[in-house]
Every structure is written in structure tokens, then in C-alpha cells.
Amino acid sequence: MNSVDIQFYSEARALFPYLQSIRRDLHRHPELAFQEVRTAGVVVRELNQLGLEVTTGVAKTGVVALLEGNQPGPTILLRFDMDALPIREDTGAEYASEEEGKMHACGHDGHVAIGLTVARILADRREELAGRVKLVFQPAEEGAGGGEAMVKEGVLMNPSPKNCLALHLWNERPLGWMGFSPGPVMAEADFFAVKIEGKGGHGALPQTTIDPITAAAHWITALQTIVSRQVSPHQPAVVSVTQVKGGDSFNIIPPFVEIQGTIRTFEPEVRQLVMERFQQLLHGICGSMGCSAHVEFLLHTPAVRNDAELTAQLQEMVPAVLPDSRLDKRFQTMVSEDMAFMMQDVPSCYFFVGSANPEKGLNYSHHHPKFDFDEEALIRGSAMMAAAAVKLLKE
């Protein structure tokens, strides 16, 4: 065990009351995408207390701060997301949401608390730092485009980072687990909206109509063959239909059906194959049944791709920083993350910190109304992030 590296854990543990109070305060006051005004205010207040230079209003509610080390050197960017979800909390926790219909159900309250704690640890170690740490508090990670907006507003410039790091508390794994792999660690995501048009009419006289519901049903069934029959079993891919809307009566065949869903892939060639087969099946099946079909791809997020060398470096650090952790060096998930936009052109690493504790009932999935995590995970995330930043600036 390296006595220097283990100090990060002791420092983060000593700051546990701070971590918990920030996290619980934010948890009581969740704010949705691009509305993180109070949250940004807490971030600014805490960073100002450390004497940091802070820029506000980046991508509306984002906050960026620069922590200068005592010696010159490169810049490392650390990113923490701040937004909550439109979910009504059902945890019964003493620190439950006080905002009706809004909830920190993904753990971003914890990410902000970790970010502020890392800032405190690093501010105390300024003399060790050869370079700068750019602390980025991002709005609107949950599908509203905060990451891309921050990149467009120049978060990767003045100064440009050598590396970017980010983390996610992960309730699909227990406390003590940590997972990240080189290469794609989170999927490329596409969202689609399809409209299948036929000819409406009397439910008892189908011969006078062109039934879009039957065409939609055949297409949705056939879609399942893309992953099972066309994509290699060695390549991950997901095609999910998540919304079907058509008709509103027992005896009327509707004129159209609307279908939405998502496609997830890791590799560009797999994405291209899925997209092609998706459209061939759509137009082929609908055309053969007399319907016409239109598809719109609404939102695209690239895959989160970890730099191989940097990832190996961080994986090597884990046993020294958190000696009791179980490290999964091949972890990947099909969820997506807009941190991908900051990571696209900068060697970066994104890691997951196990946060579930089934014995305490803290093992509901992210985005569930009963989602809550073991706050011990905040210590582990802070220790790892701070240790990684110091290490990368020492080289």
C-alpha cells in the first residue's frame, strides 16, 4: 500500500460531514436542466470560499473554476453534472426533495458534492500541483444538451485541458466496486421518431382502409431481428421502441401511428449497419402493406470513449487509493452520457463508483422514484478524483 495515495481517502473521509451536508442540501432542492440556478449558487459560494476564480453562466447555468497550482504545467479538466429529473420522489428520506415533481434520481447531487470536496482537497495541495485544475459544473446532462452547449461556449479552451476526467455514482453495483474500461465505456445514442401513415376508416371495414397499426406491429417485431440476426454477437447494440401512439377508439382504424425509441451502439460501423437495416425494414414492411413511413432522428450523443493509456494509468492507481475496492477493468454500459462531447478530442477517462447498499435498501436503479445511494460512495469518488488529478499533474 502506498502511504501517499491512501492519504486522499483519509482527507476525503475527514470531509464526509461536508460532503453529506452539500449533497443533502442539493437533494432537498433539485433543479431541472438549465434551471440549476440555486445549485450553481451553492457551487459559486463554496468555490469563492476557496479563493478560486469562477466563471458563471457558461451554457446558461454552468460554472467553471480554475485552481492554479504553485508551479506551471498543463491543465486537467474535472467535470461534474448538476441537474435533477422530473420525477416525484418516493424515498421517504429525511432529506427528500422539497420541490414537487423534481428529484435528484440519478445522483448528480452527489457529483456536485464530490466536485466541491475535490476542490477543497486540491486547494490544500496547491504547492504540489504543477499546472491547473479546471473544475466544470455542467447543467442539463439528462438529455437536454448541457455538455455540447458547454463545449460550444468554449469550456475546452483558455486553457485547453490535457485530459478530462468524470465519474458517475453507480447504483447497479455495490459500494466498494469501481468499474471502467479502455475504449467505449458508454454507448452512442440515437433517438428516433417514426410516423407510419395509412388510410383511416371503419374498424369493421378494413378493406376500405390502409391499416397503419398492423404495419407498425410487423415493423416493431421485425426490428428485433436487427440485433439478433444482423449485428455480430460480439458487438453490443440495442434497439428499443419506447413509445407507440395510434388510434383512440374501438371501431376506428386510425390514419397514422407514431413510434419513438432509441438505438445504442459502441462502434460507428455497427451504428451504420443498425441505421440502414432500421430504415430498410421500416420502408420495406410499411411499403409492402400500402403505408408510407417517415423517420426523424432527433438527438445524437457520441460514445463515451476512454483513452487506453490514461485508463490503464488510473486503473493502476485504484488499489493504492482505495485498497479495499473491487475493480472491474472491463465494465461497459449501454446508457449514454453527454460528457462524450468534452471527451471527443481530448484523451479522457470516465469511471463508475459503486454506490448501492442492499442491506440499507439503497439499491434502486437510477431514475427510479426510490433511488438513493450509500453516501460512503461520495468519499470514494472524491478520493479517486482528487488523487487522479494530482497524479496527472505530477507527470
Closest CB to Zn ion among residues 59, 223: 59
- Give the residue among 185, 281, 267 at the shortest CA–CA distance from 231: 267
Cβ 142 to Zn ion, closest distance in Å? 5
Scan residues 19-38 and list those touching Zn ion (CB under 5 A).
none
Closest CB to Zn ion among residues 106, 227: 106
Cβ 271 to Zn ion, closest distance in Å? 22
**What residue ranges in the chain does DSSP mark as E strands?**
53-58, 62-68, 71-81, 130-138, 163-174, 177-179, 183-186, 188-197, 201-202, 237-246, 252-253, 256-265, 292-301, 304-306, 326-328, 348-356
First vs last Cα of the chain: how many Å apart? 21
Cβ 83 to Zn ion, closest distance in Å? 9
For residues 140 and 146, is the Cβ–Cβ distance under 8 A? yes
Q: Which stretch binds Zn ion (CB under 5 A): 102-110, 118-126, 368-376, 384-392?
A: 102-110
Closest CB to Zn ion among residues 40, 304: 304
In this chain, which residue has its C-beta nearest to Zn ion? Answer: 106
Site string for Zn ion, 48-67 (x = CB under 5 A): --------------------
Cβ 318 to Zn ion, closest distance in Å? 21
DSSP states of 315-339: HHHHHHHSTT-EEETT--BS---TT
Q: Which stretch binds Zn ion (CB under 5 A): 30-38, 60-68, 98-106, 282-290?
A: 98-106
Give the phi and the psi of residue 338 in degrees, each rounded to 5. Answer: -80, 5
Closest CB to Zn ion among residues 39, 75: 39
Site string for Zn ion, 200-239 (x = CB under 5 A): ----------------------------------------
For residues 211 and 253, is the Cβ–Cβ distance under 8 A? yes
Cβ 301 to Zn ion, closest distance in Å? 12
Question: CA 50, CA 316: separation in Å to the nearest integer?
Answer: 31
For residues 124 and 314, is the Cβ–Cβ distance under 8 A? no
- Give the residue among 138, 142, 134 at the shortest CA–CA distance from 61: 138
Cβ 35 to Zn ion, closest distance in Å? 16
Q: How many CB atoms are closer than 10 A to CB 252?
A: 13
Q: Which of 47, 54, 87, 106 binds Zn ion (CB under 5 A)?
A: 106
Closest CB to Zn ion among residues 209, 348: 348
Closest CB to Zn ion among residues 111, 125: 111
# residues near Zn ion by CB under 5 A: 1
Cβ 18 to Zn ion, closest distance in Å? 22
Closest CB to Zn ion among residues 278, 373: 373
Question: CA 388, CA 122: separation in Å to the nearest integer?
Answer: 11
Alpha-carbon distances of 370 from 24, 103, 141, 316, 364, rounded to whole Å: 15, 10, 20, 35, 6
- Give the residue among 317, 395, 378 at the shortest CA–CA distance from 4: 317
Q: Which stretch binds Zn ion (CB under 5 A): 34-42, 105-113, 186-194, 214-222?
A: 105-113
Is 167 a binder of Zn ion (CB under 5 A)?
no
Cβ 174 to Zn ion, closest distance in Å? 18
Q: Give the Cα-Cα-Cα angle 215, 227, 256 (nearest 5 degrees).
A: 20
Compute the radius of gyration of the chain from its Cα atoms. 24
Scan residues 354-383 and list those touching Zn ion (CB under 5 A).
none
Cβ 383 to Zn ion, closest distance in Å? 20
Residues that bind Zn ion (CB under 5 A): 106
